[in-house]
Amino acid sequence: MMTYKGYMAHVEYDDEAKVFHGEVINTRDVITFQGRSVDELEQAFRDSVDDYLDFCRERGEEPEKPYSGQFVVRVSPDVHRDIALAAKRAGKSMNAWIAECLERDAKAALGS
């Protein structure tokens, strides 16, 4: 995983073309890059993110920020009820209870 200015990228190697290609994964906007060596790939990643930020600035648009901290989750009414009850029993808001559960499970899934 590569990170630059808060943007994270996933990289794959194309053995037929003999080139690394990457894509920023924490934005809906499409930011891609490629390189034949690790140094070239890292520079292309930084250049692509900088180009994206410059392009947004030139157009007077805000670049999409990686992870705003908000997202919508749809669940069944039964799950919604169970979450509300579990949060109430824990003395927390639903938002705080869900955030705690997600943080715990995400860390466990990532091994951190």
**Six token digits for residue 52:** 């994206």
Beta-strand pair 7-14/19-24: antiparallel
Q: How confident is the model at residue 14 (pLDDT cuts 50, 70, 90)?
A: very high
Q: Compute the distance between CA of residue 31 and CA of residue 103 in angstroms, rounded to an integer.
A: 27
11 dihedral zone (left: phi>0; alpha: psi -120 to 50; beta)? beta
pLDDT at residue 51 in the model: 97
The answer to whether residues 54 and 90 belong to one domain is no
pLDDT in tens, 83-112: 999 999 999 999 999 999 999 999 999 887
For residue 46, give its domain range. Answer: 2-59
**Six token digits for residue 33:** 């890059």
pLDDT at residue 69 in the model: 75
| Structural domains in the chain (count) | 2
The answer to whether residues 47 and 6 belong to one domain is yes
What value, to the nearest 5°, has the Cα angle with vertex 63 and ends 62 and 69?
Answer: 100
Q: Which helix (H) or strand (E) holds 32?
A: strand 32-35
pLDDT at residue 100 in the model: 95
Question: With DSSP H G I counted as helix, E B as strand and the rest as coil, what are the percentages for the chain, rounded to 5?
Answer: 45, 20, 35
Residue 81 lies in a domain: yes
Residue 72 lies in a domain: no
Residue 101 lies in a domain: yes
The answer to whether residues 6 and 35 belong to one domain is yes
DSSP 60: T
pLDDT in tens, 39-82: 999 999 999 999 999 999 999 999 988 777 778 899 999 999 99
